[in-house]
Structure 1
């Protein structure tokens, strides 16, 4: 779905690796988050990689994930042009073999520039087999990201955390890429899906270096990806960029910023929205028989949405500075 006048996502990643910068690939769970991400990227003059998982596709499609991909794609393309941002879409964590139908529907929609195929919970041989099948099904026009190793924590809307994490072995990484033909490799180096504050994350940039070097020595030019980046310190991000990582997945941070901004806003303006003690909560009659009335300037949905968008935009602009993508946009106006 690359916008006219911009380079492909593959070329964008190649350019980033040569320039030693990267991207926070940002999951979009709500329309206001998408707008905020675009605003922030435009402010930073950065390209943008957004991600849509199966659960988000179901949400945007009113229960139909295939429809959700189409709706999201139309919004992304139109708004990216509006903000002057080269925006790319990755379909995130397509668990195979269960979701092969969703994978094919997403690719056929023409929306994604890449898809992330996840069989990492399977034994090595099964992961190789399923990923290779996905690469064949997807074809050459869409990049395929795969995962080797296991990342602890809660991914997406999964309710049960995976407490086990398995670090990616460099030799296995080489064999995996050679046998599957995947374009990007998500590696397990100690990060964690979900909320990671208060936990002692043993993030190992040195392992990322070993994996990157092993791939290069085998003649494989495969960008590395780190999932679960919401809890990783800035200095670790910088070290991982030097280690050959060009894509960091971030989701939980935006969800928290959305909820926190809305919660703070409604807490501050609660007296303008909820009736005081002694006033009947007459929603149906809209408080016609009361001297008190709610204030539309505070309960109109656009008001809190604007606050959320502005907050997400500020966060995104800062993240672009952190990964070095600020000022590197390849966008060319139609």
Structure 2
């Protein structure tokens, strides 16, 4: 099976009341851990690359790693997606370089400028059977190149979504309903709450259209504690409750992004390994358990949040 775009997997997800996981990748072990879990659980998957990951690992290396994953896991659909593309030029470069899906993030722009930019990307992408995600509303938080203060964050206005989709021709839409980028979403004592009223209204205005949630890591406490136990200094934080995410996946949400939870699982596992094996220096010795931690985390998300096991 070759790399696919997101069109068919999103149609099945919408009709089936589940979501597809979009997991950020930076290196070989992360790609392997994610796809091994999906292969075992027969789950579709989106491997997504941020501009920062592309700069770190090099476009060609990342594409070849994902192509290798497709070859090694032939029974599951895999899409290669650009996360938070900041410009037409970046999206075009990824399309020309083998990506099957791109996100153009013009959420910081005035409405008409966001429309114009998204339309331009969609017009080019569709020539090559590449699907396009855009964003309305702004999530707070910091992750990679995304940095939005709480003051600048804004919920998606449901009254704008139909016009936006019709004018741009995009294939999916990321909306802001209370999720947040990064690991520091809510302080202890705060109560996370997703705006299901906004999601429901968007679903009414865009029947059958796939919606995307960014910033959907749950900041699983055991990995934060593991990092701190072995020398880290992460403050306590609360992520998005997984039962809320599962409820969103039963509605119009067809794609849920996960990045911070993978980073926490990998980093906590490596810190623990070095604390218990201070004289070891072979990367294979500490990256192997980190890869397993990634695999276990993805399996957990598939079973608990996404509901996409057996949907490949």
1:48 lines up with 2:38 in the alignment:
no
- Retained in 2: the 8 A contact 1:223–1:244? yes
Post-superposition offset of 1:49: 0.7
Alpha-carbon spacing, 1:36–1:244, altered in 2? closer, same or farther (3 Å):
same
Give the gaps of 5 or more residues in structure 2: 218-238
Q: CA deviation at 1:232?
A: 1.6
Q: Does residue 301 of structure 2 align to residue 326 of structure 1?
A: no
What's the counterpart of residue 177 of structure 1? 165
Instruction: Kindly indicate whether the alpha-carbon contact (under 8 Å) linking 1:206 and 1:243 is maintained by their aligned counterparts in 2.
Output: no
TM-score by length of 2: 0.86
Q: How far 1:306 moved relative to its partner? A: 0.7
Match of 2:258?
A: 250
Aligned residues between the structures:
284
User: So what's the TM-score if we normalise by structure 1?
Assistant: 0.81
Q: Post-superposition shift, 1:80?
A: 2.6
Distance 1:161 1:172, change over 3 A: closer
Q: If you compute each CA radius of gyration, which structure gives the higher value, 1 or 2?
A: 1
CA contact (8 A) 2:173 2:212 kept: yes
The equivalent residue for 1:136 is 123
Find out whether 1:204 has 2:202 as its counterpart: no
Q: Deviations over 1:159-214 (max 9, x none)?
A: x5422321111110111111111110000101100012535433112211110111
Aligned to 2:275: 267
Q: Is the 8 A contact 1:44 1:327 kept in 2?
A: yes
For 2:103, the equivalent position in structure 1 comes to 116
- Partner residue, 1:95: 86
**C-alpha contact (below 8 Å) 1:148/1:188 kept by paired residues:** yes
Which aligned segments of 4 or more residues in structure 1 are displaced greater than 6 angstroms?
none
Mapped partners of 2:175, 2:163: distance in 1 = 14
Show the counterpart of 1:226.
Answer: 213
Q: Is the 8 A contact 2:92 2:121 kept in 1?
A: no
Gaps of 5+ in 1: 62-67, 274-297, 330-334
3-state DSSP of counterpart to 1:107: helix
Counterpart among 4, 12, 26 of residue 9 in structure 2:
12
Contact 1:29 1:255 in 2 (8 A): no
SS in 2 for 1:229: coil
